[in-house]
Amino acid sequence: MRIRVNDVVEVIAGNDRGVRGKVLKADHQADKIIVEGVNRVYKHVRRSQRNPQGGRLSKEMPIPASNAMLICGKCGQPARSGRRYRDDGSKERYCKKCGAGNGDLAPERKSYAKT
């Protein structure tokens, strides 16, 4: 999964299609993500010392990672992302539309360096 915490994504399927938001949590095992303001549900909470009022609590629920697309930091469009090695041997994510880098994935390794 190429989506990580604090990435900005756009939902491409489901009831919240077209909504952009920040990824709050990513579950790589289940291939699901929690996006800020997307897939909100009401959780009914009983009165307790922590929540003396009780009532309905609105919270985000996970969506499949395949229903969200990463937003490129340079072009600002939803685009597929790939992985490539830089000249120094470090691995990065990049936008397949404009070719701009979208963050590091792995530190440099001398065996992958081009020089």
pLDDT of residue 115 exceeding 90: no
Residues 27-50, mean pLDDT to the nearest whole number: 95
Give the start-to-end residue ranges of the domains of the chain: 1-71, 74-115
Tell me what the pLDDT averaged over the chain comes to: 93
Is it the case that residue 27 has pLDDT exceeding 90?
A: yes
- pLDDT surpasses 70 at 1: no
The pLDDT tens digits for 57-111 are: 999 999 999 999 999 989 999 999 999 999 999 999 999 999 999 888 899 999 9
For residue 26, is pLDDT > 80?
Answer: yes
Paired with 33 in beta bridges are 26, 63
Give the C-alpha separation, 50 to 12, whole Å.
37
pLDDT at 103: 86
Q: Which CATH architecture has domain 1-71?
A: Roll (2.30)
Contact by Cβ (8 Å): 71, 8 = yes
- Give the C-alpha distances (Å, rounded to integers) separating 25 from 31, 36, 63: 11, 9, 11
The reported pLDDT for the residue numbered 39 is 96
- The two tokens of residue 46 are 């009983």
